[in-house]
Amino acid sequence: MHRCKGKIFYRNEDGDFDITNNTNPVSGLYMRKQVTYTENRIFPYADMEELEDEMFTTVRKTVGNLKPGHPWVSMDNIELLKSTGMYLKDQSTGEQGITLAGILMFGSELMIQTALPHYRTDAILRRENLDRYDDRDDIRVNLLRSYERLMQFIAKHLNDKFYLEGDQRVSLREKIFREAISNLLIHREFSNPFPAKLVVEKDRVFIENGNKPHGNGMIDPENFSPYPKNPKIAKFFKEIGWVDELGSGVRNIYKYNKIYSGADPEFIEGDVFKTIIPLTTQATNQDTVQDTNQDNEDIKGLLEFCRTPRTRGEMQQFMGLNNRGHFRQKILNPLIKGGLLKMTIPDKPTSRNQKYYSNR
């Protein structure tokens, strides 16, 4: 970036472009050049009373359950902020106080809007009414509450798929969107006024947020170097168990979406970071969704049927399946291994009197 005779120019390859009166390119360039993180900005007049005490209680309870004896459990609110770097003192100016990270993590909606007026996350369902939306949640609360509301929005509008990882049932929907939503919240550039979006459509979910790019174009999950955008916020999310290591989110979304929909997600780096999560493969499109939904409904129906202990034959008849081997291998054994079905005679799994029941 160059200034000449009171004008600001952006040099791009062979061209010099006058951007003096164009606010967004100027602020974007300064943002990319800055060496400090926006999350560390100090608000010396921010009052501890404006933070939500309930959020501190929730955090202490969460880390206490994850790691008994965690030091945060015994800290008061300001000690917790200082230990996480969300209450700082500027050694060059002597200015001290709650940082933007602390406000975004624990602040009330009013406090956040005062500190960062453009902050919001827009959750949109757009399947029938493509010009506007079918459902929407305009989220302007702190990051902890935002995570919960975005996860609830996804659970409301996307089906889950029955899947066993080893002998444990896992929620593919939660595995994918836990990572995607965490990335949306913790890796955005908060000084960028671009509103963050999570949009659910018929065949995809796409997510956009303001970004401080370290490159441009498509990200290859097998060959990329992740950069922390807000390292203190990211570390906080990791401590409470909502994210794993830096860079794991991209890889996990790739891994689990391949199972969920059969299609690869896309991650596109730029001034706006874009995540595109396909919900169906292009080849099967809506039929895949219908088949998946039907499989889920059939399994739910079987588990409900087995609230009263049933024989294998009764279960097969209920599901309309004649092939004993297929039923045992593809349905019965995975349900038993996943703990969703239990045997009435567990010591004699092949007993002719064996029945199976669900307590869910």
Query: Is residue 200 within a helix (H) or strand (E), and if so which, with residue range?
Result: strand 196-200
| Cα distances (Å, whole numbers) of residue 100 to 34, 47, 82, 85, 211 | 16, 13, 13, 11, 17
* pLDDT value for 161: 77
Q: Does residue 238 register a pLDDT over 80? A: yes
Question: What percent of the chain stands above pLDDT 70?
Answer: 89
Span 169-179, mean pLDDT? 91
Burial class (CB in 10 A: 0-12, 13-18, 19+), 292: buried
Q: How many CB atoms lie within 10 A of CB 355?
A: 17
Higher pLDDT, 292 or 75: 75
Bridge partners, 10 (sequence order) = 17
Q: Span 156-168, mean pLDDT? A: 82
96 close to 42: Cβ distance less than 8 angstroms: yes
Which CA distances in Å does 195 have to 133, 168, 184, 188, 247? Answer: 17, 38, 11, 10, 23
Q: How far apart are CA 165 and CA 155, in angstroms?
A: 20
Q: Residue 149: which residues within 8 A CB-CB, separation 6 or more?
A: 123, 137, 139, 141
- Residues 94-128 have pLDDT tens digits of 999 999 999 999 999 999 999 999 999 999 999 99
Q: Are strands 196-200 and 121-125 parallel, antiparallel or unpaired?
A: parallel
Query: Apex CA 200: angle with CA 195 and CA 203, to 5°?
Result: 135
What whole-number distance in Å separates Cα of residue 162 and Cα of residue 302? 13
pLDDT value of position 40: 95
Full-prediction pTM beyond 0.85? no
| Residue 132 binned pLDDT confidence (cut-offs 50, 70, 90) | very high
> What pLDDT sits at residue 34?
55
- The reported pLDDT for the residue numbered 220 is 83
Q: Please report where in the chains the tokens 């602390």 appear, as a residue.
A: 102
Q: Can you list the pairs that 136-143 forms with residues at least 24 positions away whose Cβ atoms lie under 8 Å?
A: 140/109, 140/112, 140/113, 141/109, 141/112, 142/52, 142/55, 142/103, 142/104, 142/105, 142/106, 142/107, 142/108, 142/109, 142/112, 143/104, 143/105, 143/185, 143/186, 143/233
Helix (H, G, I), strand (E, B) or coil at 23: helix
State residue 240's pLDDT score.
95
Average pLDDT value over all residues in the chain: 87
- Residue 89 confidence class, pLDDT cut points 50, 70, 90: very high
Tokens of 333: 């054994």
Joined together, the tokens standing for residue 147 give 């995570």
Strand order in the sheet with 2-4: 2-4, 7-12, 15-18
Cβ(2)–Cβ(29) under 8 Å? no
61: which residues sit within 8 A by CB, 6+ positions away?
none
d(Cα 2, Cα 149) in Å, to the nearest integer? 43
Q: What percent of the chain has pLDDT over 90?
A: 56
What pLDDT shows up at residue 334? 80
Q: How many residues does the chain have?
A: 360
